[in-house]
Amino acid sequence: MSDMRHQVDYLVLGSGIAGLSFAVQAARHGSVALLAKRSRSESNTAYAQGGIAAVFGPQDSFDQHIHDTLVAGGGLCREEAVRVTVTEGPTRVRELIELGAEFTRDASPFGYHLTREGGHSQRRVVHAADLTGMEVERTLLGAAAAAGVQFFEDHHAIELILASKLGASSERVVGAYALDTRSGHVHSFVAKAVVLATGGAGKVYLYTTNPDVATGDGLAMAHRAGAAVANLEFIQFHPTCLYHPEAKNFLISEALRGEGGILRNKAGEAFMERYDSRKELAPRDVVARSIDSELKRRGDDSAFLDMTHLGKAFLVEHFPHIYTTCLAFGFDMAVAAIPVVPAAHYVCGGVCTDLQARTTLPGLLAAGEVACTGVHGANRLASNSLLEGLVFGHRAADTARGIAAESPRPPPVPDWDPGGAVPPDEGVIVKQNWDEIRHLMWNYVGIVRTDKRLARAQRRLDNLAGEIQEYYWGYLVDRDMLELRNLAEVARLIVACAQERKESRGLHYTLSWTGDVPPRDTVLVRGRPAPSAWPR
């Protein structure tokens, strides 16, 4: 049942750094409705620890940041997108500071402490101790509210609305249907421009650093609507999450390794030098694979991150959140090395966009983790994600303004039609399928892949997709069902992209690679209409 229709200039799906950066700008020239599927502050952004990479250091330069990003990206970055992100980054970070963000200060001429992470040749990560994301959310939520953005919390976007479904000849996206998860009603939101900023999909994997909202909804919705997506084989596994049954893969920031943390195996050996000359500060794909290999070689459950030589005062000052959280789980980082394992962290691919954040569907923009701008290529450089969200959220607002100025009045949109669906009565099916997908993705489509494992995953997912579709059409929508449907769709896209890439590159590492296949460019899953203008 639909009891509410909303019409605005701009519809934003997502309240993380990308959606909020967009909304703050767009609200200056039009009405903005912003949907968040849970509370407005629940997002990947809010959990970010390390910080935002941007060129501020006295020895640093745009060229070095660009170079580091391209090296981490394994030859698949879109250089123009990297250049835009790196060169516009410092201005966007300063704007955050002007909006009131309190980053960690020091006595340098810049005035703010810069930390270091893997793959960066310089200290260039601006941060708020180890709670950077929370500070960014706090700042942007305040600015968006002050700018008059209308928030719709607990509004779960279900499907994008296409003009073609309303009888028009264009593929234009004119809005979205969303489930109010408190009332169970489905509302329609119509806008001149729609911005996808729904974040990542870590929940596709059994072990992930991501919070529960990260189920790949935007990616699945855009794909169903016909937008092109790309590079989904490149799932980044963060090397270090706390290994404890109740810690829910609590992240142990890479900044700890940046400040001198050493990875050891259970025997106490510092093993990274055996894998890469950059040791603990090699890019993430290398470190995560090295840990995986060390665990398999020795049959251990976890590796250990040793920070004892840094001293308690330093740890408490720089990493207060991590220090106290570890302590609550019984680990004193100042006294002993803590157990760590890799977990799914970030989706490098996504919905293809150009440098103006336009997807291949008119009226639909995308920014942040859901988008594939080409900045990350085959592997994202640490702390480049918040940066990309800031830069492209802002760029999307400029683009949307132009779209709104030219847009015809959106056509009338019919209410959501539940057809003959009845209230769900088999929650167990949703749970079973959800668990199965997350297990099989972890086991078959994880850090190390083979053709056989991918084929197995594909067969299982094809079966599950049939069951899930049947369930979706038979029952009234609820949040669990919607997330499961999207999770399954994203899992299939990841596998499809992984099967296309026969070489090991960046985050896609396959034991089936014999070395005699030619290097592969971007894996593009074509949408409707087939994109011609997205080179990488």
The stretch among 86-94, 209-217, 406-414, 448-456 that binds ligand FAD (CB under 6 A) is 209-217
Tell me, residue by residue from 45 to 84, as one string, x for binding to ligand SIN by CB under 6 A and - for no binding. ----xx----------------------------------
Is 50 or 226 the residue whose CB approaches ligand SIN more closely?
Answer: 50
C-alpha count within 13 angstroms, C-beta hemisphere, residue 200: 30
The stretch among 16-24, 312-320, 426-434, 498-506 that binds ligand FAD (CB under 6 A) is 16-24
Size of the site for ligand SIN (CB under 6 A): 8
35 binds ligand FAD (CB under 6 A): yes
Structure tokens at 323: 């220090």
Shortest Å distance, C-beta 490 to ligand SIN? 19
- Please identify the residue of the shown chain whose CB is closest to the bound ligand SIN: 50
**Do the Cβ atoms of 396 and 359 come closer than 8 Å?**
no
**Residue 91 CA, distance from chain mean position:** 23
Bridging pattern class, strands 229-230 and 524-525 = antiparallel
Query: Using the rule CB under 6 A, which residue among 389, 446, 506, 531 binds ligand FAD?
Result: 389
218-87-360 Cα angle (round to 5)? 30
44 binds ligand SIN (CB under 6 A): no
350 binds ligand FAD (CB under 6 A): no
C-alpha count within 13 angstroms, C-beta hemisphere, residue 483: 25
Tell me, residue by residue from 235 to 274, as one string, x for binding to ligand SIN by CB under 6 A and - for no binding. ------------------xxx-------------------
**Do the Cβ atoms of 18 and 197 come closer than 8 Å?**
yes
Q: How far apart are CA 399 and CA 409, in angstroms?
A: 18
**Do the Cβ atoms of 522 and 375 come closer than 8 Å?**
no
Structure letter (DSSP) for residue 433: H
The number of residues making up the chain comes to: 536
The stretch among 29-37, 266-274, 349-357, 498-506 that binds ligand FAD (CB under 6 A) is 29-37
Structure tokens at 77: 């970055």
Is 227 or 252 the residue whose CB approaches ligand SIN more closely?
Answer: 252
217 binds ligand FAD (CB under 6 A): yes
Shortest Å distance, C-beta 253 to ligand SIN? 3
Shortest Å distance, C-beta 290 to ligand SIN? 16
202 binds ligand SIN (CB under 6 A): no
271 binds ligand FAD (CB under 6 A): no
- Please identify the residue of the shown chain whose CB is closest to the bound ligand FAD: 16
C-alpha count within 13 angstroms, C-beta hemisphere, residue 356: 12
Structure tokens at 90: 């410092």
Structure tokens at 422: 């009845």
- Name the nearest CA neighbour of 179 among 285, 354, 38: 38
Is 383 or 486 the residue whose CB approaches ligand SIN more closely?
Answer: 383
Structure tokens at 401: 């303004």
Shortest Å distance, C-beta 393 to ligand FAD? 7
Residues of this chain, 325-384, that bind ligand SIN according to CB under 6 A: 382-383
Rg (CA), the chain: 22
Structure tokens at 84: 């835009």
φ, ψ for residue 201, nearest 5 deg? -145, 35
Q: How far apart are CA 151 and CA 146, in angstroms?
A: 12
Torsion sign, CA atoms 517, 518, 519, 524: negative
Residues of this chain, 75-94, that bind ligand FAD according to CB under 6 A: none
CB-based burial of residue 267 (10 Å sphere; 0-12 exposed, 13-18 middle, 19+ buried)? exposed
Size of the site for ligand FAD (CB under 6 A): 45
Is 39 or 450 the residue whose CB approaches ligand FAD more closely?
Answer: 39
The stretch among 193-201, 281-289, 459-467, 521-529 that binds ligand FAD (CB under 6 A) is 193-201
**Do the Cβ atoms of 497 and 233 come closer than 8 Å?**
yes
Please say if 284 is a catalytic residue: yes
Query: Using the rule CB under 6 A, which residue among 15, 69, 122, 360 binds ligand FAD?
Result: 15
**Do the Cβ atoms of 6 and 189 come closer than 8 Å?**
yes
Catalytic residue, chosen from 78, 83, 124, 284, is 284
47 binds ligand FAD (CB under 6 A): yes
Q: Which single residue is written with the structure tokens 């590079």?
A: 231
Is 70 or 125 the residue whose CB approaches ligand FAD more closely?
Answer: 125
Which active-site residues does the annotation give?
284
Residues found near ligand SIN in the complex (CB under 6 A): 49-50, 253-255, 382-383, 385
Chain residues that interact with ligand FAD, rule: CB under 6 A: 13-19, 35-38, 42-45, 47-51, 132-133, 155-157, 197-200, 209-210, 213-214, 217-218, 251, 346, 368-370, 383-386, 389
